[in-house]
Amino acid sequence: MTSQPFEGRQILITGAGSGIGRATARKLYSLGAELILVGRRLDKLKETLPKAQAVSLDHSDESAVMKFAKQCGPLDGLFLNAGSYESGNVEKGDPTIFRRMIQQNLVGPWNMTHYLGSHLTEGSSVVLTGSNLGIRAIPLSAGYGVAKAGVHMLAQYLSQEWGSRQIRVNAIAPGPVATDMLLDRIKEALEPEQRLNDLKKVNPLNRIGQAEEIASLVVYLLGPESQWLSGAVIPFDGGAGAVHPN
């Protein structure tokens, strides 16, 4: 019987309780991976995969991450996907929102890679979730966009630091994806249907993405077929870059 491509491989996923993290976890599990699901809510992690190891952890809490790392075993892959979104601009925006965006979207992945880097096996792979808002400046997304741009650079620096161990590090930069985080924002809009239509129009395919589509790219980046791909920031946004170039 042919072994599955991720059989015996230990992979940790943050933000695994919903959206892209959940879709990726389920896809990897179907391919034989042994998973550690990380998130703030154990109930959501158990909904993702009841039989997988689940850990309640705030990745922006350095002391909690350090404590977790001390009891963590070897890892063959990381998918650092956890994050959050709040709108705001620079001059008139709330500085506390900016600090939250940095903590949740940049400090979190920094903590995880800093404390878990020594646990990665030679030849493993790391994927960080950035955003196309970290590539192009979109109004009212300043804090989030700056944080995600930092995630892109973090991936590139790590690809240099860990290259000698044959560890690949890449970032994905999705556009609007039908996750709970996005759908909740749409519901809060004054005209939800118009807001959804506006988001669809930002790319030539005229639709928002699906979590399962992003998960397929993550699985490829974590798998053996991408062994010469590292240090990349990969837009996955329906071609929005062709409509709104840098």
Q: Do the Cβ atoms of 7 and 164 come closer than 8 Å?
A: no
Phi then psi dihedrals of residue 77, to 5 deg: -175, 150
Give one DSSP letter per residue of the chain, joined into a string: -PPPTTTT-EEEEESTTSHHHHHHHHHHHHTT-EEEEEES-HHHHHHH-TTSEEEE--TT-HHHHHHHHHT---EEEEEE-------B-SSSS-HHHHHHHHIIIIIHHHHHHHHHGGGEEEEEEEEEE--GGGTS--TTBHHHHHHHHHHHHHHHHHHHHSGGGT-EEEEEEE-SB-SHHHHHHHHHSSSHHHHHHHHHTTSTT-S-B-HHHHHHHHHHHHSGGGTT--S-EEEESTTHHHHS--
Q: Which is catalytic among the residues 29, 85, 144, 157?
A: 144
Catalytic-residue membership of 144: yes
Q: Which among 226, 214, 234, 221 is positioned nearest to 26, based on CA atoms?
A: 214
Residues marked as catalytic: 144
